[in-house]
């Protein structure tokens, strides 16, 4: 999230949840709920990919993960895979 310049508050607003929950997920204190796991993972992934695209941060992701340019869907898929382990 630091690479994409996203705060817990910004992501929480997107997901309509409390920012402290984002913090707990990031630190591992809480796990994503099994019941809504796919919902959160997909929406977080889409938000981060859109954020990268909107703010011209694709190069940061490209450099970080070794992606080719213009690979929005690959970025989303990778983030989903990364988050699901």
pLDDT at 57: 77
| CA of residue 37 relative to chain centroid, distance | 13
Could you give the C-alpha distances from 67 to 4, 47, 64, in angstroms and in order?
Answer: 15, 18, 8
Q: What does pTM read for this prediction?
A: 0.66
Largest CA distance in the chain: 35
pLDDT in tens, 5-53: 889 999 999 999 999 999 999 998 998 888 877 888 889 988 888 888 7
* Integer Cα distance of 79 and 44 in angstroms: 8
Confidence of residue 2 (pLDDT cuts 50, 70, 90): confident
Q: How far is CA 14 from CA 11, 59, 70, in A?
A: 5, 23, 24
């Amino acid at each position: 999230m630091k690479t994409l310049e996203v705060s817990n508050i910004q992501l929480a607003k997107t997901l309509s949840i409390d920012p402290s929950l984002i913090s707990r997920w990031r630190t591992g204190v809480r796990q994503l709920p099994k019941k809504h796991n796919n919902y959160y993972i997909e929406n977080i992934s889409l938000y981060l990919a859109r954020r990268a695209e909107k703010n011209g941060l694709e190069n940061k992701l490209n450099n970080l993960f070794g992606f080719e340019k213009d690979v929005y869907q690959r970025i989303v898929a990778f983030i989903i895979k990364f988050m699901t382990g």
